[in-house]
Amino acid sequence: MHSRYLLPGLFITLLTQIAWGKEYEPLNYFGISFLQLSESKNGPDFRPDGMLFRLGFMGGEHFGLELQTALTQTGGDFELRNATGMYLHAALPHQRLTLFTLAGMARVDLKNAGNSETSENFSFGFGIRWRATKTTDIGMEWMNYGERPTYKADSLNIGFVKHF
């Protein structure tokens, strides 16, 4: 799927959920997470630390749209400068726990041995959130931001989400 069709497709999915869904309480959210990236495919090992910022728009309990941007603090010959993504968010809530998965497109900016590369990749992930208070969740997720012959960029994110 070409990335220019992703936003209209996600928007139509969100509108369909709103139109066909039962009455619901909006569960839009923003959040920040600690980001631990790893690269492990035929390239140099790196473990830059960074922050992940997210903004989510839910059309009900089960489906929504999430925007993410990750900024990293790196050094050395291989640097993952940032990753930005737009995802379809699918959730399965059960009492205070919510299992979820994300699938969409990510843009990854990196530097490898002095050469800069920007790529758009299919990106996906999954995670779990625990409802700590009525408006705050604590969560953990794993994300894959993209793969190339020389690298595989994925991360483990731990942080919180604030509902509004």
- pTM for the structure as a whole: 0.78
Residue 10 Cα distances to 25, 60, 66, 117, angstroms? 20, 14, 10, 27
Query: Which domain CATH number covers 38?
Result: 2.40.160.20
Report whether 72 contacts 47 (CB < 8 A).
no
**Counted domains in the chain:** 1
Token couple for 142: 């794993």
More confidently predicted of 85 and 76: 85
HSE-up of residue 4 (Cα within 13 Å, Cβ side): 0
Give the closest residue to 83 by CA, choosing from 107, 65, 104, 48: 107
More confidently predicted of 117 and 149: 117
Residue 75 lies in domain: 3-163
Q: How far apart are CA 89 and CA 64, in angstroms?
A: 5
The predicted-structure confidence for 12-58, as pLDDT tens digits, reads as follows: 666 655 555 555 465 799 999 998 876 555 554 555 578 999 999 99
| Arithmetic mean of pLDDT, 68-78 | 76
Look at residue 33 and give its three-state secondary structure: strand
H-state helical runs in the chain: 6-20
